[in-house]
Amino acid sequence: MSAAETKQKKWTLLELLNWTAEYLAKKGFEDARLNVERLLGYTLGLSRIQLYTNFDRPLLPDEISAFKALLQRRLTHEPLQYILGETEFYSLAFKISTDVLIPRPETEVLVEHIVETCTHSFAKEEEIFILDVGTGSGCIAVALAKNVANAVVTAIDCSPGALSVAQGNASAHDVEIKFHELDALKPWPMEFLNTFDLLVSNPPYISYSEYQTLQPEIRLFEPKTSLLGGNDGLEFYRKFSNICSTLLKPQGFVFFEIGERQAVSVRNIFADAGFSGFQVYDDLNGRNRVVKMQWSRSKE
Ligand SMILES: C[S@@+](CC[C@H](N)C(=O)[O-])C[C@H]1O[C@@H](n2cnc3c(N)ncnc32)[C@H](O)[C@@H]1O
C-alpha cells in the first residue's frame, strides 16, 4: 500500500493492528504485535481483551493520529514502558519516567529472596529495619513494604527525579516509606548508622565497554547514573563495601543485584570488608544475579 493510500484508508482496529505489527516486525522490533496491542490499547483506553472484542471497530482520524504519535516514539527505540508511563513489578503497577530505570524481572528475584529471609530469619512480631540504596522507581522498597508485614522501610537515591517517582509509587500503593536524597558513596548522616537489619541495593553495575553494546532502548533512554558502574562495572560495590557495614546492625543482611559475571568479584570485595555467609542466586535464565551476605565482624 502506498503512503497516500495508507493515509486515506478507513481503518478498522484489526486492520491497523495487523498493518502496524508487520511494519514494526520488518523494522526489526521484537514482540512487534504485543507492542502495537499495548500502544493501540493505550490510545483507545481499551484492555487487551477489549481490543480483541472490538476488531471491527472503525477508527476515528483523531484516534489514528494519537496512535501514530506513540508509534513514532517507539520507532525511535523509546521503550514501551516509558511511552505508557508504567510497568509491572512483583505483580504491582509502577509509574515510571525517564528519571528511573525500568524495573526488571531479575530484580523480582532479588525481592523474592529478601521476602524469604524476612520470613525465616526474623520473628513475626519483630520489626525489620530495611534500607533500599538507589531506590529508583521505588520498586524494591514498595514491593517489600507490601509483602513483608513487619518491615520498616527507608529508601535513598541521589536523584531527586527518581525520588519523586518513588514517592508517587509508595503513595499509590498506600505504604509508608521514608525517602531521603543522599549520595550512598559519601559519609552518611549519624541517624543511619548501625540502624538496619537488612540492606538491599540494585546499584549501577554495567562496565563502560558493556554499555556500548547495549540495545538502543537502554543506551538512548535509561538514565546513565542507574547503569554505569565505572571501567569494570564494580566501582559502586568497591566504594560502598566499607560504608555498608556502618549502616548495619551486627549480623545484618545485605542483598545485591549483580551482573551475571560479577559474583566472584563482589564476593571478594565484600569478604575483604568483613562480610561472610555468601550465597548466590540465579535468575530465571540460570544466570548468577543476586548475592546475599551477612555482616559478621563484631563492632568495637
Ligand atoms: C540500577 S538503578 C536501580 C533502581 C531500582 N532500585 C530498581 O531496582 O529498578 C540504580 C539507582 O541507584 C541510584 N544511584 C546511583 N548512584 C548512586 C549513589 N552514589 N547514591 C545514591 N543513589 C545512587 C540511581 O539514581 C538509580 O536510581
Considering the domain 93-295 in this protein, what is its CATH number?
3.40.50.150
Report whether pLDDT(299) > 50: no
Global confidence as pTM: 0.94
Ligand 1 atom nearest to 100, measured from its CA: 27
Output the ligand 1 site: residues, CB below 6 A: 100-101, 103, 107, 134-137, 139-140, 156-159, 162, 183-185, 202-204, 225-226
Cell of 298: 563484631
Whole-number percent of the chain with pLDDT over 70: 96
Q: Give ranges for CATH 3.40.50.150 in the chain.
A: 93-295
E-state strands within 17-134: 86-89, 92-95, 128-133
C-alpha–C-alpha distance, residues 288 and 278, integer Å: 13
User: Which residue among 137, 164, 202 has the greatest number of ligand 1 atoms within 8 angstroms of its CB, and so is best to mutate?
Assistant: 202
Q: Output the residue whose Cα is nearest ligand 1's atom 13.
A: 134
C-alpha–C-alpha distance, residues 157 and 251, integer Å: 24
Binning pLDDT at 50, 70 and 90, where does residue 243 land?
A: very high
Closest by CA position to 273, among listed 261, 191, 248, 130: 248
Average pLDDT score over residue span 251-269: 97
Helix axes 263-272, 235-247, angle to 10 degrees: 40
Report whether pLDDT(2) > 90: no
- pLDDT tens for 145-165 read 999 999 999 999 999 999 999
pLDDT at 7: 65
Binning pLDDT at 50, 70 and 90, where does residue 300 land?
A: very low
User: Which residue among 86, 132, 135, 177 has the greatest number of ligand 1 atoms within 8 angstroms of its CB, and so is best to mutate?
Assistant: 135
Binning pLDDT at 50, 70 and 90, where does residue 296 land?
A: confident
Average pLDDT score over residue span 186-207: 97
